[in-house]
Structure 1
Amino acid sequence: MRILLSNDDGVHSPGLQALYDGLEGLGELEVVAPDRDHSGASNALTLNRPLTVEQHPNGFRSVDGTPTDCVHLAVNGLFSEPFDRVVSGINTHANLGDDIIYSGTVAAATEGRNLGLPAIAVSLVNDGHFHYDTAARVVRLLLEGKKTLALGPRCILNVNVPDVPWEDIAGFRVTRLGHRDRAEGAVPMTCPRGKERYWIGAAGQGSDAGPGTDFHAVSEGYVSITPVHVDMTRHEALSSLREWVDDMTSGEGH
């Protein structure tokens, strides 16, 4: 099994190294990750300039681009041998609920899925202890599963792991995405040259965070595993939308 590892925290992230160490011996591992932190990059591709790839002494490769760039290049040009799957992480912080819209970690996994590969995004619900080894063990367990999991096209697994030792993990829960409250306001500041600048405010707390959600699972010490389908169509709204459009355009000669 050939596994491509990537992330959004950068090629030197301890979470990426822990993931590599935790999966050693499971298959042939290749690492292609951004050369710096690209948290919040979502699914951005770099289309306005060529990209530079650098190989590091430990064999990891870095790209001066986004997480999506890294997976795209790795699958579509850097290697002659195909990959069997993509694993993105271990992200330094949680990717729960609405976080996945912005997450470069999830984006690297979805790019793998878009290119036809099963993919997992894994994040540590960090409380300052940095138990990356726990998250790596979770991923290994998922990859070693005896049964083949068929999620269907355009679907990945989004995994969030409590920041605790392995023996303190309460178990595993299959969850849905919760939702956050509105983010906190932008934080103004003044730069040394007297110009006004802004920091993006912190993410909101979980508003839809009850039983069954990823928020609830990790709050109770469980690993949250959420199937994420990359199809933003609101299928339930199609019928009423057709009726609305038909009513709006009736008599217009269409």
Structure 2
Amino acid sequence: MKERPLILVTNDDGITAPGIRALIEVMNEIGDVFVVAPDSPQSGMGHAITVDNVLHCNSITVDDGPQIEYSCSGTPADCVKMAVNEILNRKPDLCVSGINHGSNSSINVIYSGTMSAAVEAGIEGVPAIGFSLLDFKWHADFTAAKKIVKQIVLSALQNKMPEDTVLNVNIPNLPEDQIRGIKVCRQANGNWKETFDKRTSPFGKEYYWLSGEFVNKDRGEDTDLWALENGYVSMVPVQFDMTAHHMIQKLNTWDL
């Protein structure tokens, strides 16, 4: 009998979030599931790790299922480090992160705890995929997303993902019959134009709320934003070698 793949599941919205519960449900159909996820929301944490405090990681039962679950006091990247280096007795065959409540397309991949968990898995030598649904509501409908997740995970396991690359998958908030397919894309060139809402507390101290507007500077039809705006699931291969290789030759011309 063929051994079922060992699948590590994590996220950044917290271990009780509906998105990760949907992801666990799908992964239970595919392999042996081990969950290590934050005990509270960690959205926007990027690739932060805990170096100035202790980490707590406790066995927990959130709902029925064959999965083994741990809640961790750390960041999404901490969760993956703990799972791979401390808790599991062998390296997972795959790490899946999500399903995130909200988009992680374009430059959002930099800030995303969901994708940082996937990237950390990749650094640890584990194939990884981050999944996001373009619906920020806590009780979002993950029905269509679950079918897409299963399709992509089965394909990733069958085709063996290349080393040093993880996948960033974003799913439009559409009914299943309106999703036009899956497009392999590049990351769109966009950024946030930040504003800070300055306020004064009842004690007379100034404080700020970060706000802003996303600006898409990319008109290409091969980007994740174009795909999502046109009813497709976007799938972007992400590398964590951040070297700007095209600059090396130019920098060597400097008089250093």
Q: TM-score, normalised by structure 2?
A: 0.90
Q: Quote the offset at 1:127 in angstroms.
A: 6.8
Greater radius of gyration (CA): 1
Report deviation, 1:47.
1.3
Which residue, 152, 165, 180 being the options, matches 1:142?
152
Residue-pair matches, total: 246
* Aligned twin of 1:252: none
Per-residue deviation, residues 201-221 of structure 1 (Å, max 9, x unmatched)? 235132215300000001111
Mean CA deviation greater in 23-32 or 146-155: 146-155
Q: Distance in 2 between matches of 1:81 and 1:181?
A: 39
| Shift in Å, 1:200 | 1.6
Pairing 1:89-100 to 2, within 5 Å after superposition: 89-100=98-109
Is the deviation greater in 194-203 or in 163-172?
Answer: 194-203
Residue 129 (structure 2) pairs with residue 120 (structure 1): yes
Could you say which residue in structure 2 is the equivalent of 1:218? 228
- Structure 2 residue 162 is matched with structure 1 residue 152: yes
Partner of 1:202: helix, strand, or coil? Answer: strand
Q: Taking structure 1 as the reference length, what is the TM-score of the superposition?
A: 0.91
2:10 is matched with: 6
Give the unaligned 5+ runs of structure 1.
250-254
Deviates more, 1:144-153 or 1:176-185: 144-153
Question: Is the CA contact 1:180–1:203 (under 8 Å) kept in the aligned structure 2?
Answer: no
Once residues 202 and 31 of structure 1 are traced to their aligned partners in structure 2, the CA distance between those partners, rounded to angstroms, is 34
Q: Identical aligned pairs, as a percentage?
A: 37
What are the ranges of 5 or more consecutive residues in structure 2 without an aligned counterpart? 63-67
CA RMSD of the aligned region, Å?
1.8
Structure 1 residue 147, shift from structure 2 partner: 7.6
- Runs of at least 4 residues off by over 6 Å: none
Q: Give the 3 Å change call, closer, same or farther, for CA 238–91 of structure 1 in structure 2.
A: same
Q: What does residue 29 of structure 2 align with? A: 25
- Structure 1's 8 and 147: CA in aligned 2 closer, same or farther, altered over 3 A? closer
